[in-house]
């Protein structure tokens, strides 16, 4: 009988530090940064003249403005993950953007409330990469991993009542990544001023040993600095009303421990992401010394052999996607509104889980996952001791892996969304006993720092991990692809369950269809696009339907994380030897965030609350008259009838004759003739439930603008994503339009970027002109700090100009 996986029950808190009662102040260094590229001498000195440097706002990605250049990071390599044995020239593998080199950032700050009783922490949430930190001309420390969070106590280096000069040197080497890593201070930099007697940075850890609908027992461990202190913890509900208060002076070493009861708790889940607030106050006698405010969610998780994963006592499958950290046209620079838009799109698709692949997630991504209801698999590394790329993380693994994991866990362990850790992805260390020992060492570190969550690794060398014991020792065996080995792995490994840690890797280009319509691996075309019939994959991967069967039929398969939710910069398979090609084809949504056809294939399975009825391809095929042009329908209904210009092509019904037939309705013998195709879907009783039609469009006539937001926060960083499409005189979308458009923004905002989702486009994102791709593109408009109105005008030669108004408000 299979061994049972340990049961994990936990309540997690999302910590946001507030400045209250002058006991704690947080200064986020966003504005007035000076930046330049180049390996400069003495750039850290206070007297160094940076007046001619570029002034930027952090988070900042110095490389995203381009230009694209095939010579950047051109590599002669054999990609082992792709099964290659002979090196070939790779271009665009890291996005063909100028991220390589040394960059310097400088800023000044003052701390008017600083005195000898204060402690000052300098916190970095991510710096790409190998940061060296200088304060007032002195080096205070360094790190190596560009995705890690880290901080320094800079109290002794602060100049009281004077300006302090902060300088950061970043070094990005070539051959250091397998995708576009971004460049610069791409996540937030904060200065925390507090009393010396205070809560330690990331010192709060909260679990719930007991969670029922009637009662939650909250265990709060709080590490503090100082002696003779008292801790008061207050629990508030979502409306801000006080539920209970707990006070203790009992301390063990430097750690308080409290057990607090919450009656009739609202449990956190993807369907109901209810968040409470905890306020922790540290007193010295009657004097308040420190205070932090914490949002948290109460929930329990459990992993069992044969049964799978349970959330709050209910079996739950991971309907997940993998996400790289870049945000398309704005690059790696963190932007909360851009992440929120991604999660909204995924939520509509029915996604309930995210894997941060293959990097430590941003805190903003975790905060939004808590708020919006996404389970989260937080990943750490893409390399251990053995290299994938010449200048990868393997250079630092032995020295840094433990401290990087400790910081990952301490900084994020209080998020209710995180339900699993990953210590690595497709590491070459999967072979042999040394790799198994490293896997156990890393897993033990995670367990030591957080005994409440299991650990996985994304394994692609499944046979090797069977032989070495690597896969058997993991809490959760994660299989990347290898659908043909699921049964064997399940029988071989003792855990009694399997996670699809990375699945599908189907490739497609939005709105592009190729003929004949057949399944293919590593298929290439002259235009460097992939067919959106969703039948093309890589040599190691597969179409979505093959994973869907395993997810639906095997209770011991606990879910999947599809590669990927959105296209990302770099990793241009199957065109990584071709130019121009500078971004991926794997995304369910393209680089602009526009859904590909595959979006609706997944939605038809995963979004069980809403109807899905989607038909492909488009119906503009001049020159293909009379030729076979198959029609596919992705729908939540089991059967439908197709009509071409009113003539029935017959009824198709989902069946188990093949994975494709189980999840798609396909009319393979349709011949193209201009006009209208219509699908009529039937419910379980055979009655008409829904209809949809696609018409052949005429020439492009006018532009249509649609914004995802009508109102933005007037904070200088909130974004509206405006979808631009073109229609003919009758209002029919023109799916093949490639018109060059221009964008103009007036009022209380600015043009930030544009993207059309074309992986071969070399147009720069930040220039206010771009071609449509498959009839669409997206314009990003950013608010400024003044409340008012933003007007976006989009124009194109021979097209009727379109305008849209977006309001901005102070909140």
Q: Which of 300, 333, 353 is the last residue of a domain?
A: 300
Q: Please count the other Cβ atoms lying within 10 Å of the Cβ belonging to residue 40.
A: 14
Task: Please check the confidence at residue 2 and state whether its pLDDT lies above 70.
Answer: no
Left, alpha or beta for 469 (phi > 0: left; psi -120 to 50: alpha)?
A: left
Residue 79's pLDDT is 81
* Cα–Cα distance, 216 to 208 (Å, whole number): 7
Helix, strand, or coil here: 126? coil
Residues 281 and 275: beta-carbon distance below 8 Å: no
- Residues 443, 523, single domain; the answer is yes
- Residues 708, 688, single domain; the answer is no
Query: Mind listing the pLDDT tens digit for each residue in 257-289?
Result: 999 999 999 999 999 999 998 899 999 999 999
Q: What is the mean pLDDT of residues 590-601?
A: 98
- Residues 181, 57, single domain; the answer is yes
- Residues 445, 572, single domain; the answer is yes
The CATH number covering residue 602 comes to 3.20.20.80
Residue 441's pLDDT is 98
Instruction: Work out whether strand 455-459 and strand 476-480 pair parallel, antiparallel, or are unpaired.
Output: parallel
Is the bond leading into 167 cis (omega within 30 degrees of zero)?
A: no
Q: SS in 3 state form for 228-268?
A: CCEEEEEEECCCCCEEEEEEECCEECCEEEEEEEEECCCEC
Residue 563 lies in a domain: yes
One-character DSSP codes across 609-678: SS--EEEES-S--TT-TTSB--EEEEESSSEEEEEETTEEEEEEE--SSSHHHHH-EEETTPBP-SSEEE
Residue 80's pLDDT is 77
Residue 208's pLDDT is 85
* Exposure string for 364-382, b = 16+ CB within 10 A, e = fewer: bbbbbbbbbbbbbbbbbbb
Residue 326's pLDDT is 98
- Residues 447, 562, single domain; the answer is yes
Query: Mind listing the pLDDT tens digit for each residue in 455-503?
Result: 999 999 999 999 999 999 999 999 999 999 999 999 999 999 999 999 9
Q: Which two tokens stand for residue 740?
A: 């060059």
Lowest mean pLDDT among 1-5, 24-28, 396-400, 590-594: 1-5
Q: What is the mean pLDDT of residues 141-151?
A: 98
**In the chain, what percentage of residues exceed pLDDT 70?**
97
Residues 520 and 499: beta-carbon distance below 8 Å: no
Q: Which two tokens stand for residue 785?
A: 């700090």
- Residues 355, 443, single domain; the answer is yes
* Cα–Cα distance, 104 to 770 (Å, whole number): 31
Residue 1's pLDDT is 36
Q: How far is CA 364 from CA 16, 126, 368, 563, 769, in A?
A: 11, 12, 6, 21, 30
Q: Which of 695, 720, 742 is the last residue of a domain?
A: 695
* Cα–Cα distance, 181 to 170 (Å, whole number): 13
Residue 206's pLDDT is 87
Residues 178 and 93: beta-carbon distance below 8 Å: yes
Q: Is 242 exposed, middle or buried (0-12, 13-18, 19+ CB in 10 A)?
A: exposed
For residue 83, name the pLDDT band (cuts at 50, 70, 90): confident
Of the candidates 775, 770, 782, 776, the residue with the CA atom closest to the CA atom of residue 741: 770
Task: Please check the confidence at residue 20 and state whether its pLDDT lies above 60.
Answer: no
Q: How far is CA 355 from CA 219, 405, 457, in A?
A: 27, 16, 12
Residue 311 lies in a domain: no
For residue 557, name the pLDDT band (cuts at 50, 70, 90): very high
Q: Which secondary structure element, helix H or strand E, spans residue 446, and what is its range?
A: helix 432-449
- Residues 125, 263, single domain; the answer is no
Of the candidates 462, 148, 501, 543, the residue with the CA atom closest to the CA atom of residue 322: 501
Helix, strand, or coil here: 524? coil
Residue 68 lies in a domain: no
Q: What is the mean pLDDT of residues 70-84?
A: 84
The CATH number covering residue 164 comes to 2.60.120.260
Task: Please check the confidence at residue 17 and state whether its pLDDT lies above 50.
Answer: no
Residue 614 lies in a domain: no
Residue 552 lies in a domain: yes
- Residues 444, 575, single domain; the answer is yes
Q: Which residue has the tokens 């000898």?
A: 116
The CATH number covering residue 691 comes to 2.60.40.10
For residue 110, name the pLDDT band (cuts at 50, 70, 90): very high
Of the candidates 105, 132, 1, 101, the residue with the CA atom closest to the CA atom of residue 48: 105
- Residues 393, 428, single domain; the answer is yes
- Residues 427, 569, single domain; the answer is yes
Q: What is the mean pLDDT of residues 358-367?
A: 98
Average pLDDT of the residues of the chain:
95
> What are the φ and ψ backbone dihedral angles of 80, each rounded to 5 degrees?
-60, -40
Q: What is the mean pLDDT of residues 228-252?
A: 96
Q: Which residue has the tokens 């039929």?
A: 553
Task: Please check the confidence at residue 10 and state whether its pLDDT lies above 90.
Answer: no
Q: What is the mean pLDDT of residues 241-260?
A: 96
Domain count, the chain: 5
Higher pLDDT: 18 or 810? It is: 810
Residue 82's pLDDT is 73
For residue 16, name the pLDDT band (cuts at 50, 70, 90): very low
Q: Which of 645, 676, 695 is the last residue of a domain?
A: 695
**Which residues pair with residue 648 across a beta bridge?**
643
* Cα–Cα distance, 171 to 286 (Å, whole number): 48
Q: How far is CA 380 from CA 180, 397, 408, 490, in A?
A: 17, 12, 8, 25
Task: Please check the confidence at residue 92 and state whether its pLDDT lies above 80.
Answer: yes
Residue 308 lies in a domain: no
Residue 21's pLDDT is 55
* Cα–Cα distance, 402 to 407 (Å, whole number): 9
Of the candidates 311, 335, 73, 314, the residue with the CA atom closest to the CA atom of residue 186: 335
Query: Mind listing the pLDDT tens digit for each residue in 56-76?
Result: 999 999 999 999 999 998 888
**Domain range holding 650?**
621-695
Of the candidates 222, 271, 274, 269, the residue with the CA atom closest to the CA atom of residue 248: 222
Q: Is 580 exposed, middle or buried (0-12, 13-18, 19+ CB in 10 A)?
A: middle
- Residues 469, 549, single domain; the answer is yes
- Residues 664, 535, single domain; the answer is no
Q: How far is CA 357 from CA 231, 328, 566, 642, 760, in A?
A: 38, 15, 12, 40, 23
The DSSP code for 583 is B
Residue 654: HSE in the Cβ half-sphere, 13 Å Cα cutoff = 19
Q: What is the rounded (10 degree) CA torsion for 619, 623, 628, 629?
A: -20
> In sequence order, what are the residues at sequence separation of 6 or more whose Cβ sits closer than 8 angstroms to the Cβ of residue 773?
510, 511, 738, 756, 757, 758, 761
Higher pLDDT: 14 or 654? It is: 654
* Cα–Cα distance, 667 to 657 (Å, whole number): 15
Kindly report the length of the chain: 811
Q: Which two tokens stand for residue 610?
A: 């809403």
pTM: 0.96
Task: Show which residues are catalytic.
Answer: 426, 502
């Amino acid at each position: 009988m299979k061994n049972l996986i340990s049961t994990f029950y936990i309540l997690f808190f999302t910590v946001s530090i507030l400045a209250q009662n002058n006991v704690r102040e947080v200064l986020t260094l966003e504005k007035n940064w000076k930046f330049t590229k180049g390996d400069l001498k003495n750039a850290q000195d206070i007297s160094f003249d940076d007046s001619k440097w570029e002034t930027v706002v952090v988070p900042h990605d110095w490389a995203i403005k381009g230009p694209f250049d095939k010579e950047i990071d051109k590599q002669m390599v054999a990609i082992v993950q792709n099964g290659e044995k002979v090196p070939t020239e790779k271009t665009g593998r890291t996005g063909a953007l100028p991220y390589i080199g040394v960059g310097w950032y400088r800023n000044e700050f003052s701390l008017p409330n600083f005195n000898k009783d204060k402690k000052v922490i300098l916190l970095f949430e991510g710096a790409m990469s190998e940061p060296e930190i200088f304060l007032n001309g002195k080096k205070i420390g360094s790190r190596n991993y560009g995705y890690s969070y880290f901080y320094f106590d800079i109290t002794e280096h602060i100049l009281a009542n004077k300006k302090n000069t902060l300088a950061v040197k970043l070094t990005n080497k070539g051959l250091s990544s397998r995708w576009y890593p971004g460049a610069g201070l791409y996540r937030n930099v904060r200065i925390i001023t507090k009393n010396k007697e205070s809560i330690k940075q990331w010192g709060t850890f909260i679990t719930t040993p007991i969670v029922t609908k009637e009662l939650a027992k909250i265990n709060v461990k709080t590490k503090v600095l100082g002696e003779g202190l008292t801790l008061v913890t207050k629990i508030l509900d979502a409306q801000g009303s006080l539920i209970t208060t707990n006070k203790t002076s009992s301390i063990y070493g430097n750690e308080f421990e409290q057990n607090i009861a919450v009656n009739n708790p609202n449990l956190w889940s993807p369907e109901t992401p209810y968040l409470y607030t905890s306020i922790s106050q540290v007193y010295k006698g009657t004097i308040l010394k420190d205070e932090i405010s914490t949002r948290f969610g109460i929930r329990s998780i459990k992993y069992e052999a044969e049964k799978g994963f349970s959330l709050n006592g209910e079996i739950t499958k991971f309907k997940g996607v993998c996400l790289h950290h870049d945000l398309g046209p704005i690059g790696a620079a963190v932007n909360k509104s851009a992440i929120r838009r991604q999660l909204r799109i995924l939520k509509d698709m029915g996604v309930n889980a995210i894997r941060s692949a293959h990097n430590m997630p941003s805190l903003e991504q975790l905060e939004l996952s808590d708020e919006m209801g996404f389970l989260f698999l937080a990943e750490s590394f893409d390399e251990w001791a053995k290299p994938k790329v010449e200048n990868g993380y393997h250079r630092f693994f032995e020295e840094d892996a433990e401290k990087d994991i400790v910081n990952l866990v301490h900084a994020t362990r209080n998020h209710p969304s995180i339900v699993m850790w990953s210590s690595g992805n497709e590491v070459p260390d999967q072979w042999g006993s040394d790799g198994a020992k490293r896997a156990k060492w890393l897993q033990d570190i995670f367990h030591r720092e957080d005994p409440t969550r299991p650990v996985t690794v994304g394994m692609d060398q499944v046979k090797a991990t069977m032989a070495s014991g690597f896969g058997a020792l993991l809490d959760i065996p994660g299989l990347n692809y290898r659908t043909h080995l699921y049964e064997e792995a399940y029988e071989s490994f003792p855990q009694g369950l399997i996670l699809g840690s990375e699945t599908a890797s189907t490739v497609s280009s939005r709105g592009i269809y190729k003929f004949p319509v057949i399944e293919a691996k590593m298929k290439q075309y002259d235009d460097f696009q992939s067919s959106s019939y969703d039948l093309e994959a890589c040599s190691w991967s597969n179409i979505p339907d093959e994973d869907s069967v395993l997810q639906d039929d095997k209770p011991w398969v606990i879910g999947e994380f599809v590669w990927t939710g959105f296209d990302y910069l770099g990793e241009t398979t199957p065109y990584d030897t071709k130019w121009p090609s500078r971004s991926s084809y794997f995304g369910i949504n393209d680089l602009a965030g526009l859904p590909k056809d595959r979006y609706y294939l997944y939605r038809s399975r995963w979004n069980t609350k809403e109807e899905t009825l989607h038909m492909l391809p488009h119906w503009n095929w001049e020159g293909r008259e009379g030729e076979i042009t198959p029609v596919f329908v992705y729908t939540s209904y089991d059967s439908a009838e197709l009509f071409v210009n009113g003539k029935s092509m017959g009824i198709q019904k989902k069946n188990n004759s093949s994975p494709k037939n189980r999840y798609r309705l396909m009319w393979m013998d349709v011949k193209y003739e201009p006009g209208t195709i219509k699908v009529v879907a039937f419910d379980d009783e055979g009655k008409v439930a829904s209809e949809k039609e696609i018409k052949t469009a005429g020439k492009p006539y006018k532009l249509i603008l649609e914004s995802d937001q009508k109102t933005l926060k007037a904070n200088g960083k909130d974004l509206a994503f405006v979808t631009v499409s073109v229609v003919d005189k009758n209002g029919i979308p023109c799916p093949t339009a490639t018109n060059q458009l221009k964008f103009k923004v007036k009022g209380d905002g600015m043009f930030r970027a544009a993207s059309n989702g074309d992986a071969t486009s070399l147009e720069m994102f930040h220039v206010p002109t771009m071609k449509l791709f498959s009839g669409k593109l997206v314009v990003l408009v950013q608010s400024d700090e003044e409340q008012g109105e933003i007007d976006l005008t989009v124009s194109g030669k021979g097209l009727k100009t379109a305008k849209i108004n977006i309001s901005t408000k102070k909140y």
